[in-house]
Structure 1
Amino acid sequence: MEPASLNQSDDYDYNNSTWLVGPCTFQQNHSVERVLGPYVHSLICILGLVGNSLVVATYACYKRTRSMTDVYLLNVAVADLLFVACLPLLVYNELWAWPMGGAACKLLRGSYSVNLYAGMLLLAAISTDRYVAIVQARRSARLRSAAYSRGVCAAVWTSAVLLSVPDFYFYHRYEPSHSVSTFMDEDTEDVPEAKVYVCEFRFTDHTTAVNTKMAVPSTQLAVGFILPLLVMVFCYTAIIVTLLKARNFQRHKAVRVVLAVVAVFVVCHLPYNVTLLCEIANLFKLQSCDKVDTLKVAKTVTQTIAYLHCCLNPVLYAFVGVKFRNHFRRIVQDLWCLGKRYIAPRRFSRVTSEFYVSRRESTRRSVDGSSENGSSFTM
């Protein structure tokens, strides 16, 4: 059996939270990362950037529709955008090494944690907002003001920053003590003088390592998954009960949307959090390299599935809404009209401009309808 080691000494490794008796290579996990990192994670970054950028652009171009839900949607899209912006560097660090300095290491890892917590808590806030709007309709006018939503968002981001303090503090750029070849290709293993740096947790004593390595994933599990899941289950269960009493087609369609929102959340995040729970249970235990490698593979795969949620959020929370689709359609029409104005022949430029400007104005009036009083992009 292979030794249970991440290092080359028979000692305790504060950074990796395990007892060491020899080097482990984790070849199986590295092979999986080399497939998921460059290809699947790149696709997630592209889809996440496109989808969430469209949400932000739609909201920014048509500011008159700032309801409470719209403020939440904008903040979720911003959190997801920052998340996918951090992802490429995190993947590069896992596959090879950390390419930047210590300050950038702390900033990126801390920002990743902030966006993770903020995104999850905002999804819980959206669930609560829909609960108030549908189940507590009589109180919705008082509890769903734009000022109230901005206060909730400020509290969410503040909580996310506070929860991420350990990440800002304990992540460091350093040269690991184990073999450089772990981070290098086979054809570069004969270059011992090359220094390789990583951006990972680093501790100086056993007590700090134990407390932090237990507290950080436990908090992520509790606040980043269990709390939003409980809020979503409670709110959407009450919403479904209320909608089923309405007995019309549109309400039943809304029920299917609610079920899809909960199902996607569970499918994306439950596997990773189960794996995270297993990792917490096995911390500070002597384990074989094979067992640790298998757990790392499971964590890598399930974490990638969890990353997919940032691509699905725009579809589930924005594009399913009729009003949001109308505003997005208006952006496309405006861009099309603008393009037609500038590519038309010069001798017809004045006529073309007047025609499309008038058409754009009429389109705005028809799409806006009664939305001047403010409405939500969602159901």
Structure 2
Amino acid sequence: MRWLLLLLLGPRALGLGLAGSPRTPSLYDEAPEDSSPAGGDGGPRGGPFQRSFPGQRSANDSGVLELPERQRALLLGWPVTRLVPALYGLAVAVGLPANALALWVLAARRPRPPSALLLMNLAAADLLLGLALPPRLAYHARGLRWPFGEAACRLSVAALYGHMYASLLLLAAVSLDRYLALARPLRARALRGRPLAAGLCAAAWVAAAALALPLALQRQSFRLAGSDRTVCHDALPGDAQAAYWRPAFACLALLGCCAPLLAMLLCHAATLRALAADGARYGRARRLTALVLASAVAFFAPSNALLLLHYSDPGPDAWGPLYAAYLPCLALSCLNSCVDPFVYYYVSAEFRHRVRAALRWGARPGVAASAAGADSGPSSGTRSSSLL
């Protein structure tokens, strides 16, 4: 009986209490204001630790957030204020002209096969992503000082994620088109048409817009207490993190990245298996298919894996600096817009021929390429290593 009483009363005697029940405060409940379970990495007082630099709203101004010094140091470190703008600058410098030229040449192509429609939409998504980056570049280069206002902050965040995930969804659509062309060439004659290509493009844009819409519906610009810095999305109220942003970004990562990457993996694996059955005849097509898949995984998987970990809430002391690592990985994902033109367009000898003809003849690339032998492209019903 004595052991039974000790077992029942022991937790209360130690001041632990039962889950969800009040307990008597003890001396050990009081801790210094700056203390935290992770040695200074914890969130603001009054709530559990949540990542993405959650702040506590100022009692005097709801537009001001208070961050612990440790989180402030991570947020303002060199990876966020130096490395991130450098990656964004590279994406703008390379991606904008490469995608603009590719879109110009593809739009002027006559006749235009269904694959060209998919690639035009991919080039447009990458081009729009590049156009959305300069405000973010300026924001990071200025030490996280957002000068454009709340409406522009919401639009910038929604455009960044929306166009990036639109690009990934269109990559999955292109992989399905290439699977039909290379692994099912006979069936491709019936399936690979303008209706299928237009439907895949429309579905990708609608899905990307739906995934990005929640990013434009909540306030995201806040001034850091005790400074002149106004952050855009990089420090958010802790209550909004759990109630709103966690489900929004979980859907974004799972539906906008994991599902398209899985579709690409399945399509490219089936394509590689079909091409491997023909021996060395399609060696170049196999290498190109493997390169396309590897580049998509390398650019998109790290940021989205960190994003899922970021909102998984594993415990109060698990992922303190995670968001500081996520921001460079997000910028790395934007570099995919630089790689796409060279993997999907310029790798084709026919496309390079069209580009040279367009630059030589001026403003009518379609006519110039036709005059230079544009009819050399492969038909939609035969296998080819070209992506056009």
* TM-score category, normalised to shorter length: 0.7 to 0.9
- Tell me: CA distance 1:171–1:374, structure 2 relative to 1, closer, same or farther (3 Å): farther
Aligned partner (choices 374, 379, 384) of residue 368 of structure 1: 374
Deviation, structure 1 residue 316: 0.9
- Quote the Cα distance in structure 1 between the aligned partners of 2:249 and 2:215: 11
Q: 1:102 aligns with which of 150, 157, 168?
A: 150
| Pairing partner for 1:210 from 222, 227, 242 | 242
**Equivalent position amino acid for 1:211 in 2:** A
**TM-align CA RMSD:** 3.3
Task: Pick one of 325, 336, 347 that aligns with 1:320.
Answer: 347
Matches within 5 A, 1:8-27: 10=46, 16-17=53-54, 22-27=68-73
How does 1:213-228 map onto structure 2 within 5 Å? 213-228=245-260
Distance 1:114 1:102 in 2: 18
Task: Please state if 1:296 is matched with 2:323.
Answer: yes
- Number of residue equivalences: 334
Indicate yes or no: 2:274 matched with 1:242. Answer: yes
Residue 39 (structure 1) aligns with:
86
Q: Is 1:180 equivalent to 2:217 in the alignment?
A: no
| CA distance in structure 1 between the partners assigned to 2:165 and 2:187 by the alignment | 28
Residue segments in structure 2 that go unaligned for 5+ positions in a row: 1-37, 57-65
CA contact (8 A) 2:220 2:232 kept: yes
Deviation at 1:150, TM superposition (A): 1.6
Number of the residue aligned with 1:118: 166
2:113 aligns with 67
Deviations 1:157-181 (A, max 9, x none): 11111111210101433434x3316
Counting only pairs closer than 5 Å after superposition, residues 138-157 of structure 1 correspond to structure 2 as 138-157=186-205
More helix by share: 1
Partner of 1:81: 127
Identity score, percent: 24
- Which residue of structure 2 aligns with residue 4 of structure 1? 41
Shift in alpha-carbon separation, 1:28–1:109, aligned structure 2, 3 A: closer
Decide which moves more: 94-103 or 39-48.
Answer: 94-103
Post-superposition CA distance 1:87-107 (Å, at most 9, x none)? 221233343222112222222
Q: Are 1:72 and 1:122, in contact at CA under 8 Å, matched by a contact in 2?
A: yes
What are the residue-to-residue correspondences of 1:340-359 with 2, within 5 Å? none
- Report the CA distance between 1:120 and its aligned residue: 0.9
User: 1:235 & 1:80 partners in 2: Cα distance?
Assistant: 22
TM-score (norm 1): 0.77
Per the alignment, residue 306 of structure 2 pairs with: 275
1:200 to partner: Cα distance? 2.3
Write the distance in 1 (CA, Å) between the matches of 2:367 and 2:167: 36
Q: Is the 8 A contact 1:170 1:201 kept in 2?
A: no
1:200 matched to 2:227: no
Shift in Å at residue 39 of structure 1? 2.7
The answer on whether the counterparts of 1:225 and 1:269 sit within 8 Å (CA) in structure 2 is: yes
Aligned to 2:357: 330
Unpaired runs of at least 5, structure 1 = 184-196, 339-359
Q: State the match for 2:289 in structure 1.
A: 258
Evaluate the alpha carbon distance shift between residue 361 and residue 41 of structure 1 in structure 2; reply closer, same or farther with a 3 A threshold.
closer
Q: Considering only CA atoms, is the larger Rg found in Structure 1 or Structure 2?
A: 2
Aligned CA distance change for structure 1 residues 84 and 213 (closer, same or farther; 3 Å): same
The alpha-carbon distance between structure 1 residues 171 and 320, as it changes in their structure 2 partners (threshold 3 A), is farther
Equivalent pair of 2:211/2:256 in contact (CA under 8 Å): no
Alpha-carbon distance, 1:12 to partner: 6.7
Per-residue Cα deviation, 1:268-302 (whole angstroms, up to 9, x for no partner):
2222222223212237x5349xx623x23321332
Please state how far the C-alpha of 1:10 moved relative to its aligned partner: 4.5
For residue 309 of structure 1, what is the amino acid of its counterpart?
N
Give 1:149's aligned amino acid. Answer: A
Deviation at 1:60, TM superposition (A): 2.6
Aligned match for 1:286, one of 301, 316, 331? 316
Amino acid of the structure 2 residue aligned with 1:52 = N
